[in-house]
Amino acid sequence: MTDFIAVSEVSRELKNSAELIKSLMIHALIIGENGTGKKSLAKYIAHDATIYQAKEFQGDVVDNVVNISDVTIIVEDIDQITNIDLFVSFIETNNIKLLATTKKDDLNDSLKALFSITLEIPPLEFRKEDIKPLATKFSKEAGAVLGIETKPSKLIINTKNNAHSLRKSIYFSYLFESIGENEIMMLLEKHMMDNMQGENGYRDFLYLFEAPLLKSSQKKYKSQVQMARHLGLNRITLRKKLEIHKELL
């Protein structure tokens, strides 16, 4: 069974609602940003349900190549349904229980009316208690997938794009513990080879070195005076570079 991490109060309430939906023949809409856990919650409600992309599913219905009835299905990005009357008719005629996900909260009224209940999942910044258990889950996953038994000394936690960026940052944590300068140089070289163009390559890629160096120095040293001294820069030059790269720091 697919689990839905629910430590925060709002996630516990969502999970309780999901338990109720399991036993009812109703259609449910799940709204949330990328990476908030929409598909996980839908799979928690119906772990055996087939997942469809809305556009592809609509095309199959139009072409009359879908032969399902008396089942529960999950349709992702339901807002991409354009032939709403045909879609609704198909769902009702074939006695299908529909769990749908969307990033938008302004669905067409006819489509919205199909759902008896709407669950809205907030971003992780409003569910901070869920971050640690999610990080633990992704850490175990990363260790198994990458074949690395030793947990990194420190996990990188990035929730800018919710669970998507959190999972990626955890994987990076494991990789960073196992790679050295040669691998880092190879990654930089590939990135530059793939993106180099124009006549200002040196200037265009300089931020890849300067920005992380400045950011790490900000974390390590308490003041710009100490940063300037340890980086071998005068304070005016340091301030200029901090201003240039402020959006990345």
Q: What is the mean pLDDT of residues 220-231?
A: 94
Per residue in 116-154, pLDDT (tens digit) is 999 999 999 999 999 999 999 999 999 999 888 888 888
Q: pTM score > 0.75 for this model?
A: yes
Residue whose pair of structure tokens reads 């200002």 in the numeric block: 200
Per residue in 233-247, pLDDT (tens digit) is 999 999 999 999 999
The whole-angstrom separation of Cα 2 and Cα 44 is: 5
Of the candidates 207, 204, 208, the one whose C-alpha atom is nearest the C-alpha of residue 196 is 204
Q: Are strands 117-120 and 97-102 parallel, antiparallel or unpaired?
A: unpaired
212-221 long-range contacts, CB within 8 A, separation 24+: 214/241, 214/242, 214/245, 214/249, 215/248, 215/249, 218/249
Residue 204 has pLDDT above 80, yes or no: yes
Residue 1 has pLDDT above 60, yes or no: no
Q: Which two tokens stand for residue 67?
A: 């032969």
Of the candidates 87, 94, 26, the one whose C-alpha atom is nearest the C-alpha of residue 57 is 87
Q: Which two tokens stand for residue 201?
A: 């390559």
Residue 62 near residue 90, CB atoms below 8 Å: no
Percent of the chain's residues with pLDDT above 70: 99
Residue 62 has pLDDT above 60, yes or no: yes
15, 102, 122, 165, 206 from 62: Cα distances, Å: 35, 21, 34, 36, 52
Residue whose pair of structure tokens reads 């140089």 in the numeric block: 185
Transcribe 91-118 into DSSP letters.
HHHTT-EEEEEES-S---HHHHTT-SEE
Residue whose pair of structure tokens reads 């809305």 in the numeric block: 54
29, 120, 137, 215 from 162: Cα distances, Å: 20, 15, 14, 22
Residue 157 near residue 171, CB atoms below 8 Å: no
